[in-house]
Structure 1
């Protein structure tokens, strides 16, 4: 071992010493003629002319006992001693009397009375300086400190402490106000960043604001923490940032532990709803349903606190979110019963009478119900259900326009595109595919790549599916190639890392299109295209393997086998 670390250890122990020895360095050590008062008083040695040390301890002790007597009642010798103390300790008469009282209350042993008296005297002089005003003190604080200094000079330390306490409270109030102002300034920067759609930057500003809030302003801090969580959620939801999505979930989880479900049930319920939304958003991008199941619990928690009708809007929101979450779980697991549960919950929301048919909330619930019904129709291959849900979506589109509610309108167009694609598949009517293409392209007019990349990518995936179906029906390679282009656009944002489930689904769709394109080629080119298709199908199957009961996993495996058979047939004929 090197010698240097050993030397460092020895030096460290010398500097720090042990507790008792280090503590003694601040004690006052009095000797005749001088007194060392320690660094925390004045940092110097003060000469007292040997007077205190020249007074016998018993004489000083008697003087301390008689501290409360009137000066005229003291003996001539005692009055002379007090006068000598005033001169040598540089204190006025009232301060000397207070010093004697303090030393008496301290019950110091006789041999330490001199040292303690000198210590108190020096601290009196330090107080005279410390009570002075400081640069930046406002008029009220300056007045209080001046009164405190007067009290010190009069030997009234109790009054001095009371006055300084008032000054301190006034200064703390100013500090708190400045801290609150600085916190709000940081929050304003966060709002500017939100306006610029810079969500991570906004989250950082809101976190700074929360950290600056002084104690006893919990509501203010809580508000900033909520804004931080919201900004992180938007970054994760709209930009596909998994780290931000997970951070948002942690923030909402923390908020649920801070807010009391007993004392503030509605605030807690609101946060549980937002917590569920964050979990649901992340869960929708993953191949398993862990986050989605946690989200369902959060929504049920929120519903349990709002079932009494005190906050109907939060009840309908949480209830609707629960229905959407069951839709996502049922879709991933290929479980039609869970999908039907979603339908029942959403119908309950619409039939509760808590939403006005003219409201945007009612329209949103109406669209969500149509989406869930579409999925049930797909799972059960039920054209009648698909027609019902398509009618609901057209009804929704008749109640709003792109100019009035752009994103609601776009969501309805996207949902209608998905419905029509399924209807075309089951009915064999290519006109449904053409209408689906139009619907997805309409949605993409709102879902810009830069503004809402994840929604844009989802509609690109839907467009790819509609173009693929139309291309297969018309035997049009051009449409199939357009479909591939749309799928590739979707994979720009639905990546294996941030949206593994969507990524797998897009790979299945891509494999299916390549499989179809291969039928237009000769054996050599066909084999290459099939091998490319197989690689996409294998990638999807591998990612979805942990969910062996997943509808999409089964689809990927089945497609892989079919393509593999085609490749083998080509090899046999070569």
Structure 2
């Protein structure tokens, strides 16, 4: 008997090819879905960024209501589940808008700032320290600003203490190594807060803490790199030294104030920054006047009056009536002291 090999069964041999084909098809479909989701996500993010740029331009123009409308429209594009960072940052930007509104609408400043604080606080429901530390402490910086302005609006000292706490929280993350600009900016604001606290409580220690914060800020804000920021901190320093003189009565404080104001005037000119120029000229006039009470009365009064007159070149009665009257009062006081 001849033994023949059995015919190979065709079906079992074809199954692997069928399964492989189905597997490839599933992979292709899954890849298409994932890729499609990615494309849609990128389109959404692009749309969000476009709306944020539009809102930012409206804020720059002072159209805060328009900016808020644009920010509110973002919420129709995203959910907090799928886009937690963008959802939270959108609330943060709303908080910044309300904060800026408080500066232009001073009558309702307190209300705007409370809206700002609510928006900042709400953003932290989605922006957590563990997942988004940079943005989390950026919100804390914003809360510090809002509470500092709220103190200026309603005079509640607890708002000042809260501002200081938030600034210190932000500095716990924004070291000079992590982000030098944020580090310097927060320290400048923190210096302002400690100055206000020191003057309220007649506390020299607070003023000295303010001094340390300003000096930290100047580690970054150097004249050759960040000239405008440098000048702003120098003006703050000058005012701080004058305030410290009220408590310590040391001539060196006045001399340091004059040096700081002159540093600011190396940046602020009447052509480039007229309002800042006039403000600092008035401040340095005050410093020369205080020095006249200690020594060289006539010559230092003359220097004070010369600085006040420089301020009046900008603070005219028609454009800046309140500031004009203040400088005129300072001139009268200086002459009266002779």
Question: TM tier, shorter chain?
Answer: 0.7 to 0.9
Could you tell me which of 314, 322, 344 is aligned with 2:97?
322
Aligned-partner Cα distance in 2 for 1:479–1:497: 30
1:357 equivalent in alignment to 2:129: yes
Structure 1 residues 383 and 453: alpha-carbon distance in aligned structure 2, compared to 1, 3 A threshold: same
2:270 aligned counterpart, secondary structure: coil
Aligned-partner Cα distance in 1 for 2:107–2:262: 30
Structure 1 residues 525 and 500: alpha-carbon distance in aligned structure 2, compared to 1, 3 A threshold: closer
User: Once the two structures are superposed, what CA deviation does each residue of 1:488-523 show, in whole Å capped at 9, x if it has no partner?
Assistant: 222333333443443333233223222222211344
Structure 1 residues 460 and 562: alpha-carbon distance in aligned structure 2, compared to 1, 3 A threshold: closer
Contact conserved, 1:514 with 1:529, CA < 8 A, in 2? yes
Contact conserved, 1:276 with 1:299, CA < 8 A, in 2? yes
1:482 equivalent in alignment to 2:264: no
Could you tell me which of 187, 191, 202 is aligned with 1:428?
202
Q: Match for residue 54 of structure 2?
A: 272
Q: Match for residue 342 of structure 1?
A: 113
Aligned-partner Cα distance in 2 for 1:492–1:523: 26
Larger radius of gyration: 1
User: Once the two structures are superposed, what CA deviation does each residue of 1:145-185 show, in whole Å capped at 9, x if it has no partner?
Assistant: xxxxxxxxxxxxxxxxxxxxxxxxxxxxxxxxxxxxxxxxx
TM-score, normalised by the number of residues in structure 2: 0.73
Aligned-partner Cα distance in 2 for 1:322–1:392: 19
1:446 aligned counterpart, secondary structure: coil
Q: Give how far 1:439 is off.
A: 0.3
Q: Give how far 1:443 is off.
A: 0.7
Structure 1 residues 459 and 523: alpha-carbon distance in aligned structure 2, compared to 1, 3 A threshold: closer
Q: Match for residue 374 of structure 1?
A: 148
Aligned-partner Cα distance in 2 for 1:562–1:265: 54
Aligned-partner Cα distance in 2 for 1:368–1:436: 19
Contact conserved, 1:306 with 1:315, CA < 8 A, in 2? yes
Structure 1 residues 539 and 478: alpha-carbon distance in aligned structure 2, compared to 1, 3 A threshold: farther
Aligned-partner Cα distance in 2 for 1:300–1:451: 34
1:376 aligned counterpart, secondary structure: helix
Aligned-partner Cα distance in 2 for 1:362–1:441: 26
Alignment RMSD (CA, Å): 2.8
Contact conserved, 2:101 with 2:112, CA < 8 A, in 1? yes
Aligned-partner Cα distance in 2 for 1:380–1:270: 31
Q: Match for residue 546 of structure 1?
A: 319
Structure 1 residues 297 and 451: alpha-carbon distance in aligned structure 2, compared to 1, 3 A threshold: farther
Contact conserved, 1:537 with 1:560, CA < 8 A, in 2? no
Contact conserved, 2:181 with 2:220, CA < 8 A, in 1? yes
Structure 2 counterparts to residues 301-312 of structure 1, below 5 A: 301-308=69-76, 310=78, 311-312=86-87
Q: Match for residue 563 of structure 1?
A: 331
Structure 1 residues 272 and 442: alpha-carbon distance in aligned structure 2, compared to 1, 3 A threshold: same
Q: Give how far 1:526 is off.
A: 4.0
Contact conserved, 1:511 with 1:534, CA < 8 A, in 2? yes
1:449 equivalent in alignment to 2:223: yes
Aligned-partner Cα distance in 2 for 1:497–1:340: 37
Structure 1 residues 302 and 384: alpha-carbon distance in aligned structure 2, compared to 1, 3 A threshold: same
Which runs of 5 or more structure 1 residues have no equivalent in the other structure? Answer: 1-263, 280-290
Q: Give how far 1:474 is off.
A: 1.8
Structure 1 residues 368 and 427: alpha-carbon distance in aligned structure 2, compared to 1, 3 A threshold: same
Q: Give how far 1:527 is off.
A: 3.0
TM-score, normalised by the number of residues in structure 1: 0.45
User: Once the two structures are superposed, what CA deviation does each residue of 1:344-396 show, in whole Å capped at 9, x if it has no partner?
Assistant: 22431322323223522232222122123223323444333222211222222
Aligned-partner Cα distance in 2 for 1:366–1:327: 18
Structure 2 counterparts to residues 181-192 of structure 1, below 5 A: none
Contact conserved, 1:273 with 1:299, CA < 8 A, in 2? yes
Aligned-partner Cα distance in 1 for 2:57–2:304: 44
Q: Match for residue 30 of structure 2?
A: none
Query: How many pairs does the alignment contain?
Result: 283
Aligned-partner Cα distance in 1 for 2:143–2:221: 22
Moved more, 310-319 or 400-409: 310-319
Contact conserved, 2:95 with 2:119, CA < 8 A, in 1? no
Contact conserved, 1:269 with 1:301, CA < 8 A, in 2? no
User: Once the two structures are superposed, what CA deviation does each residue of 1:298-332 show, in whole Å capped at 9, x if it has no partner?
Assistant: 532431321325252662353143134224435xx
Structure 2 counterparts to residues 515-554 of structure 1, below 5 A: 515-539=289-313, 541-542=315-316, 545-546=318-319, 548=321, 553-554=322-323
Aligned-partner Cα distance in 1 for 2:274–2:87: 36
